Chain A
Amino acid sequence: MKFKSGLLISLMALVTILAGCEPLLVLDPKGPQAERQASDIMLSIGIMAVIVIVVLVILAVILFKYRASKQPDDYEPPHIEGNIWVEVICIGIPVLIVAYLSFVSVQSNYIVESAPTGYENEEPLVIYASSSDWKWHFSYPEQGIETVNYLYIPTDRPLEFKLYSHGPITSFWIPQLGGQKYAMADMVTTLHLGADVPGEYMGRNANFSGKGFAENIFNVTAMSQKEFDEWVEEVHERAEPLTEDVFNKLLEPGHLGQMTFTGTHLEFSPAPEHNHGSDTDDLESNHDDHTSHDTQTDSTNVETDHSGH
C-alpha cells in the first residue's frame, strides 16, 4: 500500500513537472466527483505504467540477447509451437488486471452518477444549464434567476445540473468539479457535481458544435452558501426580468458576455420532457431502455393528439 501511494505521488509529481509547475486541471480536483475521477485516473496511470515498463524491459532484454550480430552464423533458431502454461499466464495476468479495474470502474460509475458524498444532509441545488450557439444559459428555478455564460454556486452543497441544448449536441464540463455530460435537444440529462473549495473555475462546452465552439466557455465561481444567498438577493434587486423576446434574441448564433436576469426562460420555453439519467432511473436505465423511454413519452403526446380527432 505504501509502495502504491508512493508511486502515485511520484507519478503525480512527474506529470506536474512535465506540465510546467501548475497542476493539471483534471488532477487538481475541487469537489468530490472530480476527486473520485482524479484518483481513478492516477490509479490507472500507475497500473498502466507498470505494464508498459514490464513490456519495455522484456523487449529490450530480448532484443539485446537475441540480435543476429551477437550470434554465431550457424545458429538456427528453434521451432517452438507455444506452451499452454505460458499462454495461461499471458491470459491470466491481463484478466486479473482488467477484472480489478472493472471493479473500480463500476464502483466509480455509481458514485459519479449519484449525488456527491460529504454533504448528504443538504438539499441539492437544481440548476438548468442549456446551451445555444455558442453560449450557456443557467437557470436557477428556485431562486428565479437566469445568467448567461457564468455560474455562481454554493460550496458544500450537492449541485444537480439539468442539461439540454437549443441546438447541436454540446457537453457541459467543469474539469475541476467533475467530468462532462452531453446536452442534447430532445432530452434532459442530469449531472451531479459538488464544490468543496471556494474559488473560480473554468467551464466549457467540450463537444464540437460549430464555428464558435472554441470560445464556448463560461466562468464558475464557488462561494459559501451565505455569499450565494447575498448574490441572489442582489440580483433580484438589480437585474432586469427575462422576457421571451429578449431570450429569443439571446438564442441567435453568436457570442455574448456575461448577463444576469430575474426569472428563467423555463417559464415560457420549458425544457424537453424526456428526463434521462436522473436519480431514479440509475438502476433501470440500460441501453435499450432509453429507446423505450422515448416511446413512452411520445406515446403520451400521441394520446393527447388523438383526443383532438
Chain B
Amino acid sequence: MEFFERFAIPHPSPMIYASMVAIALVSIGILVGITYFKKWGYLWHEWFTTVDHKKIGIMYLISALVMLFRGGADAILMRAQLSGPDMKLLDGQHYNEIFTTHGVVMIMFMAMPFIFAFMNLVIPLQIGARDVAFPRLNALSFWLFFAGAMLFNISFVIGGSPDAGWTSYFPLAGNDFSTSVGTNYYMLALQISGIGSLMTGINMMTTILKMRAPGMTLMKMPMFTWSTLIANVIIVFAFPVLTVALLMGTTDRLFGTHFFTTTNGGMDMLWANFFWVWGHPEVYILILPAFGLYSEIISTFSSRNLYGYKSMVGSMVLISLLSFLVWTHHFFTMGQGALTNSIFSITTMAIAVPTGVKIFNWLFTLWKGKIRFTVPMLYSIGFIPLFTIGGVTGVMLAMSAADYQYHNTMFLVAHFHNTIIPGVVFAMLAGLTYYWPKFFGFMLNEKIGKSTFWLLTVGFVLAFFPMYITGLDGQARRMYTYSEATGFGPLNMLSFVGAALMAIGFATIVYNVYYSYKNSPRNIGSDPWDARSLEWATHTPVPEYNFARVPQVFSSEAFWDAKKKGHQLFKGELKDIHMPNNSGVPFIMGIIFFIAGFSFIFAIWIPAVIALIGIFVCMALRSFELDHGRHIHVKEIKEIEAQYEEVQGNEARSHTTTRV
C-alpha cells in the first residue's frame, strides 16, 4: 500500500482533479484523433524520425508555445491568488507548487526550446549549410528535451509537483523538508533535458565553426549566428555544473548522501553556489540569441546595416565572460562579508557597460534608417526602453548594500521579469512573426499582431511595474497571501489586471495563426520583408536541402549585397547533395529516458536498471550501425527547383503587396 501512496497527490484539490480529468481526456482525444485520421505513419515518417533541422526547429517551436501556455496558466493563478488580501483561491502548498513549476517551465521548457527553435530553424540557413553538424544528435537533443518536459509536466497529477522554488534551495528541497516526490521530478526532468541542451551546445558550436559557406569568415557572420555561437559556448561550459549539482541533489534525495543536508558535514550553501554558477550564465544563454534576433530585425526594418558590428561582437564576448563571474550577487545576503560583496557588486555592474553599448548600437542602427513599423519591429522598438528599465534596475540590485533591502522581494521579481519578458519573450515573438513566412509559406496577420503587441506591452507594464513599489514596501516574493493591513492590495490587483491583459495577448497569437492560415495569401515570394541575410536567399518554404548550390559570401549581409550590388550568390553547376537518413533511435531513446527518469523519481529500481541498459544498448547499436546517408541527385534537384520557378512568376507582384 505504501508503494502506491507515493503516486497519489499529497495535497489534492478540486482544481487538480479537474486538470487530471482534462489531461486524460485531451490525451485520449489526441490518440483517437490520430488513429481516426490514420496519421500515425505520417507522424512517424515525417516528424518522429526526422533529422531535418527545420522540422526539429518547428517541433521545438510548438513545444515552446505549449509550455508558454502551461507556465502562463500558473502565472495567472498566482496573480489571481494575490489580487486581494487573504484570498482563498489557492492554499499555501498549492501556491508553492505553482510558483515553482512556473519558474522551471518558463525557463527550462519555454525559453530554452524557444531559442533552440530559432537556432535550429535559422542557423544552417544563415550560414549557408545543408544541415547541422550532427543531425541525429540534434534529433536526440530534441527528444531528450521533450522527455524532460513531459516528465516535469506529469508531476502535478502523479505524485505532486516540486514545491521548493525553481532555485530549489537545500535543505528545504531535501528529504527532511520536502517529503513528496516533487523535488525528484525537478532533479530528474532537468537532468534529462539538460543533457539535451548540452548536446545542442556541442552541435551548434561545431556547425558554426566548421560549416559556414565559402567566404563567410568569423567577422562576416550575421549577428544572430554570432550570438548563437557565444550562447552555445556558455551552454557547453555552464551546463556541466548543473549536471553535477542535480546529480548530488538526486543522490541526497534518493540514496541518503550528505552533500547539502544539515548533518554529517553537508553544506546547503554549496547548492546555492552551484545552482547560480550555472543559473547566471543561463540567463545570458537566453538573452544573447534574443539580442541576435533583435539585431537582425532592427537592421532589416531600418533598411540599414547593423551599426558597430565589431563592438556588438566584442560586447557579447565580454558579457559571456562576465556571466561566469557574478553568481554571488544572487545571495549577497548569505554573509560573505563586505569584501566579497564588493567584488561581485563591481563585476555585476560591469555587465551594464557592454549591454549599454548594444543598446546604443541599436539606436544608431535606427538612425538615418527608413523605419518600417511591422510587428517584429514593434517588439524590437518596445524592447529598447523596457529592457533599459530592466537593465538599470539590475544595476540597482547590484549595489550589494541596497540589495539587502531588495533581495527576496517583489522588487527582484519585477526586475527579472522586466529583463526576461521584453528581452527574451518579445524577441521570441518578434522572431516568430519574422521567420513564420519562411517556414510556413504565409505571413501572420499584421493587424492582429499589432494588437497582440499592445496587449502584451500594456499588460506587462501594469503587471510588473507595481511590483517595484510593493517590493520597496516590504512585500516578500513567494508569499501566498498577505493581510489587509499591509496595504499591498490595490497594487497587486493592478498586477492581476496586467496579467489578464497579457493572457488575452497570448491568446490572440493562437487566433492569429488560425486566422492567417485561413486568410493569408500564399504567393509571398522568398523575401517578404526585404531582408539582408542568407536565410532569405533560398525558396519559401525552404526545400529539404536548403540551397541547391552552396552560396558564395562576401560580407555579413550576403543577400543584401546580392540584391543591391549584384553579387552572384549561387555559382556553378548543380551537384548531387548528400543528406542524412531519418532515424527512429532518438525518439526511442527519448522514451527510454522518460521511463528511466520516472523510475528514478519513484525509486522503482528494476525498470530503472532496465531502462539504463536500454540506453546503452541504443548507444551500442549506433556504434555498429553503418549509415552513410543518401544522395539527392541532380535530376531530382532540378525538378524541385523547377516547381519553385513556377511560383516565382508571381513574386514580383506579391513583393509590392506584402511589404509593409
Physical contact A–B (CB less than 8 Å): yes
Partner-B contacts on A (CB < 8 A): 15, 18-20, 22, 24-27, 34, 36-38, 40-41, 44-45, 48, 51-52, 55-56, 58-59, 62-63, 66-68, 71, 75-82, 86-87, 90-91, 93-95, 97-98, 101-102, 104-106, 108-113, 133, 163, 167-169, 171, 173, 175, 178-182, 184-187, 189-190, 202, 204-214, 276-277, 281-287, 290, 294, 298
Check B371–A68 contact: CB distance below 8 A. yes
- 18 sampled A-B residue pairs with Cβ under 8 A: A19-B469, A37-B404, A40-B402, A44-B395, A44-B399, A62-B367, A82-B361, A94-B352, A105-B398, A113-B341, A173-B408, A175-B474, A179-B401, A190-B335, A213-B96, A276-B337, A277-B337, A285-B339
B172 pairs with A210, CB closer than 8 A: yes
Point out the residue from A80, A109, A189, A205 that lies within 8 Å of B335, measured CB to CB: A189
Report A94 CB to chain B, min CB distance, Å: 4
B residues 314-365 touching A (CB-CB < 8 Å): 328, 331, 333-343, 345-346, 349-350, 352-353, 356-357, 359-361, 363-364
Kindly list chain A residues whose C-beta atoms are within 8 Å of the C-beta of B220: none
CB contact under 8 A between A179 and B403, given known A20-B487, A68-B370, A285-B340: yes
B103 CB to nearest A CB, Å: 11
**Is B268's beta carbon under 8 Å from chain A?**
yes
Residues B401 and A59 in contact, CB atoms below 8 Å apart: no
- Min CB–CB distance A274 → chain B (angstroms): 10
Q: CB distance A168 to B177 under 8 Å?
A: yes
The docked-state distance in angstroms from the alpha carbon of A283 to that of B480 is 39
A289 to chain B: closest CB distance in Å?
8
Give Cα distance in the complex from A112 to B407, angstroms.
15
In the assembled complex, the CB of A109 is this many whole angstroms from the nearest CB of chain B, namely 4
Inter-chain contacts of B331 with A (CB < 8 A): 182
* Residues A105 and B342 in contact, CB atoms below 8 Å apart: yes
User: Which residue of the partner chain, among B345, B384, B487, contacts A55 with CB atoms under 8 Å?
Assistant: B384
* Docked complex Cα distance between A159 and B265 (Å): 31
A182 pairs with B171, CB closer than 8 A: no
Across the interface, A24 reaches (CB within 8 A) one of B268, B311, B469, B480, namely: B469
Chain B positions within 8 Å of A77 at CB level:
302-304, 368-370
Whether A179 pairs with B340 at a CB distance below 8 angstroms is: no
Instruction: Please classify how large the interface on chain B is, using the bins under 10, 10 to 19, 20 to 34, 35 or more.
Output: 35 or more
Cα A48 to Cα B389 in complex, Å, equals 8
Closest to B344 in A: A287
Chain B residues with CB below 8 A from A167, complex form? 171-172, 176-177
CB-nearest residue of chain B relative to A167? B177
Rounded to whole angstroms, the CA-CA distance of A104 and B311 in the bound complex is 29
Chain A residues near B384: list those with CB within 8 A.
55, 59
A247 to B349, CA, bound (A): 45
Complex CA–CA separation, A37 to B409 (angstroms): 15
Please indicate the chain B residues that have their CB under 8 angstroms from the CB of A180 in the complex: 333, 404-405, 407-408
Are A214 and B359 neighbours in the complex by a CB distance under 8 Å? Answer: no
Q: Which residues of B contact A111 (CB under 8 A)?
A: 401
How far is it, in angstroms, between the C-alpha of A295 and the C-alpha of B40 when the chains are bound?
A: 60
Whether the pair A90, B360 counts as a contact (CB closer than 8 A) is: yes
User: Which A-chain residue is minimally distant from B95 (CB atoms)?
Assistant: A214
Output the nearest chain A residue to B341 by Cβ-Cβ distance: A109
- Contacts A287-B328, A298-B265; is A63 near B402 (CB within 8 Å)? no
Asked, given contacts A68-B372, A171-B333, whether A98 binds B403 with beta carbons under 8 Å apart, the answer is no
Complex CA–CA separation, A76 to B305 (angstroms): 12
> Per a CB cutoff under 8 Å, which of B266, B272, B305, B349 touches A105?
B349
Instruction: Check if A106 sits within 8 Å of B345, measured CB to CB.
Output: yes
- Which residues of A have CB within 8 Å of B477? 208
Query: In the complex, are the beta carbons of A168 and B472 less than 8 A apart?
Result: no
Shortest CB distance A57–B (Å)? 10
A187 and B268 alpha carbons, distance in the complex (Å): 10
Known A105-B342, A105-B401, A171-B407: A81·B309 in contact at CB below 8 Å: yes
Is B169's CB within 8 Å of the partner chain A?
yes
Whole-angstrom CA separation of A287 from B346 in the bound complex: 15
Q: Which residues on A sit within 8 Å (CB–CB) of B381?
A: 59, 63
**How far, in whole Å, are A133 and B177 apart by their CA atoms in the complex?**
10
| Residue of A with least CB distance to B311 | A87
User: Is residue B92 within 8 Å, beta carbon to beta carbon, of the partner chain?
Assistant: yes
Given A106-B345, A180-B333, verify A113-B338 contact (CB < 8 Å). yes
B353: contacting residue among A15, A25, A95, CB under 8 A: A95
Compute how far the CA of A121 lies from the CA of B452 in the bound complex, rounded to whole angstroms: 62
Of A25, A58, A68, A108, which one neighbours B474 at CB under 8 angstroms? A25
A63 to chain B: which residues have CB within 8 Å? 366, 371, 381
CB neighbors of A among B362-418 (8 A): 363-364, 366-373, 381, 384-385, 388-389, 392-393, 395-396, 398-405, 407-409
Kindly provide the distance from the CB of A121 to the nearest chain B CB, expressed in whole angstroms.
23
The answer to whether A181 and B172 touch across the interface, beta carbons within 8 angstroms, is no
Give 16 new A-B contacts, CB below 8 A, not counting A19-B472, A19-B473, A45-B396: A41-B472, A51-B392, A59-B384, A66-B367, A81-B307, A91-B356, A94-B352, A94-B357, A105-B345, A108-B401, A108-B402, A109-B400, A181-B334, A214-B481, A276-B335, A285-B339
User: What is the 8 Å Cβ interface bit string for chain B, positions 159-178, against chain A (1 contact, 0 not)?
Assistant: 00001110001011000110
Q: Which of B284-312 contact A (CB under 8 A)?
A: 302-305, 307-311
**CB-CB under 8 A for A15 and B336, given A41-B396, A66-B371:** no
B308 touches A87 (CB 8 A): yes
Minimum Cβ distance to chain A for residue B82 (Å): 10
Interface contact A20-B401, CB-CB below 8 Å: no
**A181 & B333 in contact (Cβ 8 Å cutoff):** yes
By a CB distance below 8 angstroms, the chain B residues around A56 are 385, 388
Residues of chain A lying within 8 A (CB to CB) of residue B393: 48
Say how far B163's CB is from chain A's closest CB, in angstroms: 8
In the complex, the answer to whether A109 meets B345 with C-beta atoms within 8 Å is yes
Q: Min CB distance, A301 to chain B, in Å?
A: 9
Residues of B within 8 A of A290 (CB): 269, 336
Closest partner residue, chain A, to B385 (CB atom): A56
Q: Are B172 and A286 in contact (CB under 8 A)?
A: no
Pair A169/B368 contact, Cβ less than 8 Å: no
Pair B399/A40 contact, Cβ less than 8 Å? yes
B478 interface contact, C-beta 8 A: yes
